[in-house]
Structure 1
Amino acid sequence: MLQHALLSVSSKAWRELSCPRSELRLDLTLGCGQTFRWRETGDGHWTGVMGGRVWTLTQTDDTLWYHVYENQDNHGIRRVCENDPGTEPAGSDKKLKCVSEVKQEPDEKGIEMPSVQDSTEEELLRDYFQLNFQLENLYKDWGRHDDHFRQIARIFTGVRMLRQEPVECLFSFICSSNNHISRIQGMVERLCHSLGPRIATIQGTHYHDFPTLQALADSGVEACLRNLGFGYRARFLQQSAQLILDAHSPDWLLQFRRASYEEAREALRTLPGVGLKVADCVCLMSLDKLGAVPVDTHVWQIAKRDYGCSSGNGQKTLTDKVHREIGDFFRQLWGPYAGWAHSVLFCADLKKFQKLKEQVDVQKKKIKSEEGDQVVKKGGTEKKKVRQLEDNITKKTITAKKVKLEKPPHSRKRRVKEEEQRE
């Protein structure tokens, strides 16, 4: 049975890419709700599907390690899915084109050895994590303009913005409506298992590619997904896929990478189930709109609690107007990469990372304590100067009094004159 790759078991099965943790932290980037296809399959090892391939990623201090599994099989796209999400997809046995034509043999541990070096894999990885952006420089720039960000950034380093495939990003975030991360992950996995082609089976876990638009638009999809617990979202998924194919083209979403932010956002909002928040998520995480700031209740709370933003005060629901005002507030604060900066604060606000957040609070208290000590020290120095000044004044006063007492009450000329008058 094929095993999940572990760096400690066989380093020969891995390839490496220079990348310090300050530029990328896998646990924060893959676990903060940008993507829903990655799972931790070993200590610090993340396995997921990206670019039609199954990957396991891990990292050391200065290196990103990656292992790509051979595509084993493809059972086609299930047009009408079954109620049981654990059932294997039915269909043809047509084999997917593998990453490499070189035959790969598993080693004695059941882990596939890497194929001949394929630069495509490294390019995919660099593009997915957008490694052309220098994250440390961005952090410094945001910190210069934002004291709160600077404090958060001391602990939450390496939170990068992913560049995902637009169809996967769009339909994953349609699932996110009124939902939380763990439940969205489950829904996306069931969606892929039911409608996407199977790529590989590793330790009994079946990995599937994301469904195509044609599979999502099938007339039986809504009923299928309702049976899988998607609720009202099932209709939005099917209708959005159908609308894209009928009114546009399969590549329609990709064209918005070259369009303006406003044009892309408004086009996305024409799709069923896509509001401002979902549109901004897709713009930021797959369409290269780096200034898009997705605003949900978490971000709204951050704006009010940590920045004193008064937009929407007194309102119980997040309106489009408040969404735009908060987005504009953060864009003015952080500049053209506001969406990236927002993801750091969003990550720090998640319950799953509260232990890290507590470290931020400890550092805040330490900084306040040090600042207080400096004030006390400065105050003590000022008091010492005042006391010295008072002592000097006192000494001068005493000296003056002493001189006055020692001085003769009358001058000699005046005394002679007084004597002559008495005579």
Structure 2
Amino acid sequence: MNCQQTPGGLLVTGITDFSLPETLDCGQCFRWQRLESGAYRGSAYGKSLTVSMDEKGLLLQGAAEEDFQALWRSYFDLDLDYNKIRGALANKDPILKEAAAFAPGIRILNQEPFETLCSFIISQNNNIPRIKGIIERLCLLFERETGSADRFPTAEMLACRREEDLAPLRAGWRAAYLLDAAQKVAGGEIDLERIKALPMPEARAELMRIKGVGPKVAECVLLYGLHRLEAFPMDVWMKRAMATLFPEKSVLDFGPYAGIAQQYIFHYSRLHPELFR
């Protein structure tokens, strides 16, 4: 990868196997908005960014090269060889090969763990526009404490609030779960950094000690917030896809990159509804 400062922003060239729409609109994150221009505006780790991509490369507006190297390169997971991973997955099953080739630009973001935990607690029985709205209102509620509406509140900030304090979020019953998550993280009962290194059964069990965190949310946090690429979120749609497309396979058959396989399968299945008629 090479970086060049241009009048329009920082241009990063030499990037392959990466698509902004496939990555930012696949349901793994909720802080990005697609603009009329086709660019995306969002934030991560308290930094805001407008980013677009064309045949010239990845254009970052509002970021210098040091920002790219320190944050965005890792956030977009640009150093992992997804082409090699797709090849390994393709050898496991012809349908998986087709699914991987259908959306080769999906990458798993390196998101902030506590934000991801809260986001997927909010995501339960919810739709993406409403999830985004609740998260936006949460950041606005804590803007005075964080210094910016682009910053997600820390666990410590959230832990000292009461359920009625979160009424402006219009999050319903999820507010109690957010507070429980914040209190357990802030108090050290749940150590997200430690969970990153635990064996998967223990990591799942630790996360599920939080009220409202079941198997699916735990898998989402592991995959999207802790970058455990073997995690495999299973909702009703994915269970149906597995039963229809891979009836003789289990998650373990997809190996250490099962989470990437899940993204390919989910995207492929969602855009091929005729497979399930």
Name the TM-score, length of structure 1 as normaliser. Answer: 0.59
| 1:362-410 Cα distance to aligned partner (Å, 9 max, x none) | xxxxxxxxxxxxxxxxxxxxxxxxxxxxxxxxxxxxxxxxxxxxxxxxx
Please show how residues 381-400 of structure 1 align to structure 2 within 5 Å. none
Structure 2 counterpart of 1:139, one-letter code = R
SS of equivalent residue, structure 2 residue 40: strand
Counterpart of 2:225?
A: 286
SS of equivalent residue, structure 2 residue 211: coil
Please show how residues 167-316 of structure 1 align to structure 2 within 5 Å. 167-196=114-143, 197-199=146-148, 207-220=149-162, 222-248=163-189, 252-308=191-247
Q: 1:147 and 1:238, CA in 2 relative to 1: closer, same or farther beyond 3 A? A: same
Are 2:137 and 2:168, in contact at CA under 8 Å, matched by a contact in 1? no
Are 1:38 and 1:48, in contact at CA under 8 Å, matched by a contact in 2? yes
Are 1:214 and 1:241, in contact at CA under 8 Å, matched by a contact in 2? yes
Aligned mate of 1:29, from 23, 32, 36: 23
Are 2:121 and 2:177, in contact at CA under 8 Å, matched by a contact in 1? yes
- Structure 2: how far apart are the matches of 1:244 and 1:159? 30
- Structure 1: how far apart are the matches of 2:99 and 2:223? 21
SS of equivalent residue, structure 2 residue 172: coil
Segment of structure 1 superposing worse, 185-194 or 290-299: 185-194
Aligned mate of 1:15, from 10, 13, 36: 10
Are 2:110 and 2:225, in contact at CA under 8 Å, matched by a contact in 1? yes
Structure 2 counterpart of 1:16, one-letter code = L
- Structure 2: how far apart are the matches of 1:191 and 1:40? 20
- Structure 2: how far apart are the matches of 1:16 and 1:46? 15
- Structure 2: how far apart are the matches of 1:181 and 1:288? 21
1:153, distance to aligned residue in structure 2 (A): 2.8
Alignment length, in residue pairs? 269
1:331 aligns with 2:252: yes
Q: 1:19 and 1:47, CA in 2 relative to 1: closer, same or farther beyond 3 A? A: farther
SS of equivalent residue, structure 1 residue 211: coil
1:348, distance to aligned residue in structure 2 (A): 3.0
1:225, distance to aligned residue in structure 2 (A): 2.8
Counterpart of 2:58?
A: 64
Q: 1:217 and 1:26, CA in 2 relative to 1: closer, same or farther beyond 3 A? A: same
| 1:231-256 Cα distance to aligned partner (Å, 9 max, x none) | 1100010122112223437xx21222
1:299, distance to aligned residue in structure 2 (A): 0.7
Structure 2 counterpart of 1:242, one-letter code = Q
| 1:58-82 Cα distance to aligned partner (Å, 9 max, x none) | 11135211122xxxxxxxxxxxxxx
- Structure 1: how far apart are the matches of 2:110 and 2:156? 23
Name the TM-score, length of structure 2 as normaliser. Answer: 0.88
Structure 2 counterpart of 1:14, one-letter code = G
Segment of structure 1 superposing worse, 286-295 or 59-68: 59-68
Are 1:128 and 1:162, in contact at CA under 8 Å, matched by a contact in 2? yes
Runs of at least 5 residues in structure 1 that lack an aligned partner in the other structure = 1-9, 69-113, 200-206, 310-325, 362-423
- Structure 2: how far apart are the matches of 1:174 and 1:288? 17
1:173, distance to aligned residue in structure 2 (A): 0.6
Are 1:226 and 1:232, in contact at CA under 8 Å, matched by a contact in 2? no
Structure 2 counterpart of 1:53, one-letter code = K
Q: 1:348 and 1:180, CA in 2 relative to 1: closer, same or farther beyond 3 A? A: farther
Counterpart of 2:68?
A: 121
Are 1:192 and 1:208, in contact at CA under 8 Å, matched by a contact in 2? yes
| 1:157-189 Cα distance to aligned partner (Å, 9 max, x none) | 211111111011101011011122222112111
Counterpart of 2:106?
A: 159
- Structure 2: how far apart are the matches of 1:54 and 1:219? 26
Please show how residues 400-415 of structure 1 align to structure 2 within 5 Å. none
| 1:111-158 Cα distance to aligned partner (Å, 9 max, x none) | xxx6xx542432311111212211111112211212112222333121
Are 2:159 and 2:179, in contact at CA under 8 Å, matched by a contact in 1? yes
Larger RCO of the pair (alpha carbons < 8 Å, separation 6+): 2
Computing the radius of gyration over CA atoms, which structure comes out larger, 1 or 2? Answer: 1
- Structure 2: how far apart are the matches of 1:46 and 1:219? 32
1:218, distance to aligned residue in structure 2 (A): 2.4
- Structure 2: how far apart are the matches of 1:270 and 1:53? 31
Runs of at least 5 residues in structure 2 that lack an aligned partner in the other structure = none
